[in-house]
């Protein structure tokens, strides 16, 4: 089971790298959906004492929201805005991929400095969680399109989610569901904001909004 968990975590790290090097918004959203499903799998595989009803409920809600509901909302926002690709980001895709790759050893170094929360905690959980958070922050500051910045926010939340399910076992179901609810509301509001930005200004470049005058 440990080898299977490590394989899933490596795949999560690869999805983080894909987000930094892909221009198509639709592809990025589908990669994020895959990442959400993988996190649900990790939630199950890290359970050493068996899968409880609590875990099954949490995994089902998380997979439905991260793998289906959030991507559907974002794909709808992309269709209504009529934008298909991230064009002219602040940092090019090749250099972005390089930065994402370099962030991985940095995340491994940070993860190695953390004491294990439990003896059964997967050794790759903390590095991959750190990597998702770093990639999410990078996407927020390096992309022009609002939809890509939303994906960065989701990548950050996925990193925090991974910390919670793999390292902080004592978190209650109420806290976990509260985090998911907060993210659901945030994505819903962001989708509405993206639609109105596109309708009013015929673009989703957030940097151009700073040029508006009162």
pLDDT > 80? residue 104: yes
**Spatial separation of the C-alpha atoms in residues 100 and 142, rounded to whole Å:** 12
Angle at 50 between CA 45 and CA 54, to 5 degrees: 90
**Spatial separation of the C-alpha atoms in residues 209 and 46, rounded to whole Å:** 44
pLDDT digits (tens, 9 = 90+) for 109-123: 988 887 765 556 788
**Spatial separation of the C-alpha atoms in residues 6 and 185, rounded to whole Å:** 31
The answer to whether the CB of 162 falls within 8 A of the CB of 39 is yes
End-to-end CA separation in angstroms for the chain: 59
Q: Which residues face 24 on adjacent strands?
A: 85
- Looking only at Cα atoms, what is the longest distance across the chain? 60
The pLDDT of residue 35: 93
What's this model's pTM, rounded to 2 decimal places? 0.81
Distances in whole angstroms, Cα of residue 175 to Cα of each of 52, 142, 178, 181: 17, 31, 5, 10
pLDDT digits (tens, 9 = 90+) for 24-66: 989 999 999 999 999 888 888 877 666 677 778 778 888 888 8
Q: How confident is the model at residue 193 (pLDDT cuts 50, 70, 90)?
A: low
Distances in whole angstroms, Cα of residue 75 to Cα of each of 40, 42, 156, 167: 21, 25, 19, 32
More confident residue, 206 or 139: 139
Is residue 61 left, alpha or beta, with left meaning phi > 0 and alpha meaning psi from -120 to 50? alpha
3-state secondary structure of 22: coil
Q: Where are the domains of the chain?
A: 2-205
The answer to whether the CB of 172 falls within 8 A of the CB of 59 is no
**Spatial separation of the C-alpha atoms in residues 14 and 20, rounded to whole Å:** 10
**Average pLDDT of 15-20?**
94
Q: Which residues face 85 on adjacent strands?
A: 24
3-state helix, strand, coil in the chain (%, to 5): 75, 0, 20
**Average pLDDT of 182-207?**
59
**Average pLDDT of 130-153?**
88
3-state secondary structure of 97: helix
């Amino acid at each position: 089971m440990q080898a299977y968990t490590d394989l899933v975590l490596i795949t999560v790290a690869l999805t983080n790298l894909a987000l930094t090097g892909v221009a198509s918004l639709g592809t990025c959203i589908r990669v994020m959906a895959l990442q959400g499903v993988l996190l649900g799998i990790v939630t199950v595989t890290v359970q050493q004492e068996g899968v409880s009803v609590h875990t099954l409920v949490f995994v089902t809600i998380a997979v439905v929201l991260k793998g289906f509901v959030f991507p559907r909302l974002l794909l709808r926002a992309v269709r209504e805005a009529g934008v298909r690709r991230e064009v002219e980001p602040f940092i090019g895709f090749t250099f972005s991929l390089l930065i994402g790759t370099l962030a991985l050893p940095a995340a491994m170094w940070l993860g190695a400095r953390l004491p294990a929360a439990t003896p059964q905690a997967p050794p790759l959980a903390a590095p991959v969680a750190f990597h998702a958070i770093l990639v999410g922050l990078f996407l927020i500051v390096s992309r022009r399109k609002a939809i890509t910045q939303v994906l960065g926010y989701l990548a950050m939340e996925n990193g925090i989610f991974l910390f919670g399910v793999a390292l902080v076992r004592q978190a209650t179901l109420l806290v976990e569901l509260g985090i998911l609810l907060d993210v659901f509301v945030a994505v819903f509001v962001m989708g509405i904001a993206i639609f109105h930005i596109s309708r009013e200004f015929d673009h989703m470049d957030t940097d151009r909004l700073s040029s508006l005058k009162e």
